[in-house]
Structure 1
Amino acid sequence: MAAEPRPAAAAVSPEGQPTGTAGAPATTRRGMAKVGVATAVAAVSGYLVLFLAARVLGPADYAVFAVFWAAFGLVSGAVNGLMQETTRAVRAGLEQPATATGTEIRRARPIRTGAVIGVALAVAVLVTAPLWATTVFSTDRLLSVLLLAVGIAGFSAQATLSGALSGAGAWSQFSALTILDACLRLVVALACAVLGLRVGGFLVATVAGVVAWLIVTAASPRSRQALALTADVGVGVFRRRVLQSMAAATASAALVMGFPVILKATTSGALTSEAGAIILAVTLTRAPLLVPLNTFQGALISHLVTLRRTPLRALRMPVGVLAAVAVIGAALAAGIGPWLLRIAFGADYRVGPAVLAALTVGACMIGLLTVTGCAALAAEQHRAYALGWWAATIASVLLLLLPVGLDLRVSLSLVAGPVVGAVIHVAALVTNARAFSPPGPNG
């Protein structure tokens, strides 16, 4: 069967640089420095929002805030599949040389797909809310549902813009979008703290950053150019791949952002103070690694697309970094973690050193799963990408059902579950790399 015809690449990238035959401009050190700064700002901002919420609201109201934070993270995390596939499709489209097949296909416009997905998800939240809102949200239910619907619609557009900017190598605009999103959330949280607003105000802060894409698009011609770029494939193929990526991203979001919801679902009765402290500890041990990693996902996928024929070699450095972080981070978490929790958040937040060390290793295992997933996506192994994330999530949920103490089952769930998915990703990459290998001397 003949290969699908590939359309010509764009002549100029959103950064104003000619793409030539190689496609989009290569990731530069200066661009990565900008992304690094944006990542640091996002990480610090996220910590400050959590700190303000924990200190201002207290343990009981913080639990309410944490569940909404997790619910928004769950639905918006699913949309990250749109961002990831947009990054891959735009990058690959810019890299492909013009073809002389004479066959034209209608190349997908990611922003159109993003708009459809955003509206569809917002409507789904509103229509299905009577089925789950009472169970998930204990207070401020109407406000929570409305904010969730508006937030997911805005985040879908923002994810599309992030993906287009990453794929095109427009790191200045990507960094500006990341910083603005984080700062808007922090400003609203600070206003809540100063004005003495309670849970409702912090719920608004959770979704405040989704308007950042409107500001960046209005202020930046290059961002508007990025939104005009097309994918490397037709509309039908792009939409199918987006849905596959979103299916995997849903599992990712459930495991990463939606963990408090999963913990609540697998725990009989109301969550105790011990559970609240562990939820906070999970968030704090993950944030230093996963916030930067999530921010760099677009850059990582864009980089791995160019190395998709040798993915295992490309993974050596990020996997080595994760291993080092796991060892050093676990030691630090065990040594000073309990003290830091008491000093920063109060005596009610108590978690043992062994649990904090295990949660830190668990964060690195999710980082490993994220990196191997990016490699699978870059290699166009969409099914393996989704399968790995879903296998990891299912394994983690099953481990949470073990009849052992809360701290042990949470630790086992977050350490062992992601390893299952990473093994699936690596197996797919090995198979794919063999398919790319040249034939031996005997053909």
Structure 2
Amino acid sequence: MTAPARAGRRFGPPALMGGGLLIVGAAGYGFLALSGHTLSTADAAAVASLYLLINMIGPGVFSALEQETSRTISARLAAAADIRQVRRRAALVGAGLLVVVVLVLLAASPVLVGKAFGGRWILLVALIFGSATSAAVYLVRGLLGGSRRFGGYATTLAAEGLARLVPCIAVAVAGSPNAATYALLFAAGSAVAALAGLPALRGGSREPSADSAVSVTTMARASAVLVGSTLLAQLVANLAPVVVSGRLTTDTATAAAFASAFVLVRIPLFVFAPVQAMLLPTLTAAATRGDLADVRRKLRLILAAVTVVGVLGALVSFALGPWAVRVLFGAQVTLPAVALGVLGLGTFALLIAQVLQPALVALGMHRAATLSWLVGSAVLTGLLFLPGDPLRAAVLGQIVGSVLVVAGMGAALSAALREKPVT
């Protein structure tokens, strides 16, 4: 038995996932705080854009690979079938997705470098590197989550956080901080995380059986649909500060403050980030049995917890947000408390969506999830470019877009749980 497995038996999956998430979340905020205090405002804004883009492109594309891999493995384990072919097919799908991502980034490089990175081409290299390392770690997490090896999953979270933050602190202490070094070190953290999760994947495969064939085409098609969903989810969650930075090229201090504030109000999303990893296998098993009552029961419980966390997060964002942005992130501009409170409410809506999506995926309703994110992201994007104050447009777009996503998902899921027979 591996060390993560022994830890999982001793402490339980929720505690392990929570601990790993605490480390990776703290590392993310520590990274932004470190760059805000040690870099110029222009460099800090560029690094913040890189941070947000890696968290948009990496999880946006490759968490779809994780979800589909986890769902497929969960279903096959429930049917006592071999999962080794799933591992191979998932790796092929992940490689294909990475090629597409790199091509898109290269095509968009003039805009990315000129607007988001302030002319720093090395940050584009870091972004491509970060996409590759994200592909690796999300593949590993999909394999671990589907097999319910949450001790190993938690290990990847902790390793990612430590590998991102500790080297950056060493660079800062050495007195040679710069945007390029921070960016490359941040991107390398996911590679360390993927390697840390590999020991937990050893063993556990069943002998091949007659029904063990897994079509790479089927996995690729399902993953492609989910890519649309997860990428749009990341756009809704992270696009606003990138657009604000692009519109406020002559006011980098305000742009950096808004980016820091945006990350700050996303803390509840980090708290609940592993919920999908733990919820999806459970809901998939219930859906495979056709037990819609069990699906409804589990969703009610988790949504009640989400409500507590989301409302509390919005209140804290309103009351302490401006102070925290100024003190913790070194912002030179104080943002309105109301703006941070509304952004906190947008985070609450995204928390609900984070719970509804795995339920839709478990029921095979990938397209319904994608359509909901498409509507929300389209409205958000339109509002972000309203004339006038970019900050006001960003806050309005964030809350409206997020609420529309939840409304679409809720309607689709409600109809499915009432009427749809699961096979």
TM-score by length of 1: 0.82
Aligned to 2:201: 223
- Map 1:427-438 → 2, pairs under 5 A: 427-436=411-420
Which residue of the other structure, out of 5, 8, 18, is the alignment partner of 1:36? 18
**What is the root-mean-square deviation of aligned Cα atoms in Å?**
3.2
Aligned match for 1:351, one of 323, 335, 338: 335
C-alpha distance in 1 between matches for 2:249 and 2:11: 51
**Is 1:415–2:396 an aligned residue pair?**
no
Instruction: Show CA shifts across 1:64-118 (max 9, x none).
Output: 111222222222122211111111111111112569xxxxxx8672122223323
1:52 maps to which residue? 34
Tell me: CA distance 1:197–1:16, structure 2 relative to 1, closer, same or farther (3 Å). Answer: closer
Specify whether residues 59 and 93 from structure 1 end up closer, same or farther in structure 2 by C-alpha distance, changes over 3 A only: same
Q: How far does residue 229 in structure 1 lie from its aligned partner after superposition?
A: 11
Contact 2:240 2:384 in 1 (8 A): no
Q: How big is each residue's C-alpha offset from its partner over 1:263-301, in whole Å with a ceiling of 9 and x where there is no partner?
A: 346x37655533332221111110x21112223321121
SS for the counterpart of 1:417 is helix
**Which residue, 90, 93, 102 being the options, matches 1:113?**
93
Can you give the 5+ residue segments of structure 1 that lack an aligned partner in the other structure?
1-11, 18-25, 100-105, 439-443
3-state SS of 2:91 partner = helix
Q: Does 1:326 align with 2:310?
A: yes
Match of 2:70 in 1: 87
Cα distance, 1:214 vs structure 2:
4.9
CA-CA distance at 1:244 after TM superposition: 0.6
Asked if the contact 1:90–1:164 (Cα under 8 Å) also holds between the matched residues in 2, the reply is yes
Equivalent in the alignment of 2:281: 302
C-alpha distance in structure 2 between counterparts of 1:171 and 1:229, whole Å:
23
8 Å contact from structure 1 (residues 312, 429) kept in 2: no
Change (3 A) 1:232 1:401: farther
* TM-fit CA distance, 1:188: 2.2
Instruction: Tell me the SS of whatever aligns to 1:306.
Output: helix
Contact 1:111 1:161 in 2 (8 A): no
* Shift in Å, 1:226: 6.9
Q: Aligned match of 2:231 in 250, 258, 262? A: 250
Query: Counterpart of 1:261 in structure 2: which amino acid?
Result: V
Distance in structure 2 (CA, Å) of the matches to 1:378 and 1:352: 40
Q: Indicate whether 1:65 and 2:47 are aligned.
A: yes
Could you tell me which residue of structure 2 aligns to residue 190 of structure 1? 169
CA deviations on 1:129-179 (whole Å, 9 max, x unpaired) are 3565334422331x2222222221221121111011001011111111111
Q: Does 1:236 align with 2:197?
A: no
Preserved contact between residue 73 and residue 143 of structure 2 (Cα < 8 Å): yes
Deviation at 1:183, TM superposition (A): 0.7
The 3 A distance-change label for structure 1 pair 13 and 40 is closer
Q: Who is 2:240 aligned against?
A: 259
Q: What does 1:9-20 correspond to in 2, within 5 Å?
A: none
SS in 2 for 1:109: helix
Q: Distance in 1 between matches of 2:375 and 2:11?
A: 36
Matched, 1:205 2:189: no
Give the partner amino acid of 1:111.
Answer: A
Q: Is the 8 A contact 2:314 2:342 kept in 1?
A: yes
Q: Is the helix fraction higher in 1 or 2?
A: 2
Which of residues 246, 253, 262 in structure 2 aligns to 1:282? Answer: 262
Give the partner amino acid of 2:75: A
What SS is found at the alignment partner of 2:177? coil
1:239, distance to aligned residue in structure 2 (A): 0.8
Letter in 2 for 1:164: L
Distance in 2, matches of 1:48 and 1:32, equals 24
Rg larger in 1 or in 2? 1
1:67–1:137 Cα contact (<8 Å) kept:
yes
Using the alignment, how far apart are the partners of 1:115 and 1:30 within structure 2?
33
- TM-superposed deviation, 1:260: 2.5
The answer for the alignment partner of 1:6 in structure 2 is none
Q: 1:134 matched to which residue of 2?
A: 114
Query: What is the rounded CA distance, in whole Å, between the counterparts of 1:136 and 1:16 in structure 2?
Result: 42
Q: Which amino acid aligns with 2:63?
A: N
Change over 3 Å in CA distance of 1:304–1:271 after alignment to 2: farther
Distance 1:180 1:112 in 2: 25
CA apart distance, 1:405: 3.5
| Larger deviation, residues 276-285 vs 303-312 | 303-312
Query: 2: distance between equivalents of 1:162 and 1:179?
Result: 13
**Of residues 355, 370, 376 in structure 2, which corresponds to 1:371?**
355
Q: 2 CA distance for matches of 1:253 and 1:89?
A: 23
- Taking structure 1 as reference, are residues 58 and 133 closer, same or farther at Cα in structure 2, changes over 3 Å only? closer
SS at match of 1:380: coil
Which region of structure 1 is more displaced relative to structure 2, 207-216 or 339-348?
A: 339-348
Residues 338/243 of structure 1: CA separation in 2 closer, same or farther (3 Å cut): same
Counterpart AA for 1:301:
L
- Contact kept, 8 Å, 2:268 with 2:310, in 1: the verdict is no
8 Å CA contact retained: 2:317, 2:340 = yes
- Counterpart selection for 1:154 from 133, 141, 148: 133
Counterpart AA for 1:81? A
What SS is found at the alignment partner of 2:39?
A: helix
Equivalent positions of 1:157-176 (< 5 A) are 157-176=136-155
Shift of 1:408: 3.0
Number of residues of Structure 1 aligned to a counterpart in Structure 2: 408
Identity of aligned residues (%): 23
Q: Which residue type is aligned with residue 430 of structure 1?
A: S
Aligned to 1:197, the other structure's residue is in SS state coil
Q: What CA deviation, in whole Å up to 9, does each residue of 1:363-412 have, x standing for no partner?
A: 11111122211211121101011111111111211222334544432222
Alignment CA distance shift 1:253-1:332 (3 Å): closer
Q: Which of the residues 262, 273, 282 maps onto 2:253? A: 273
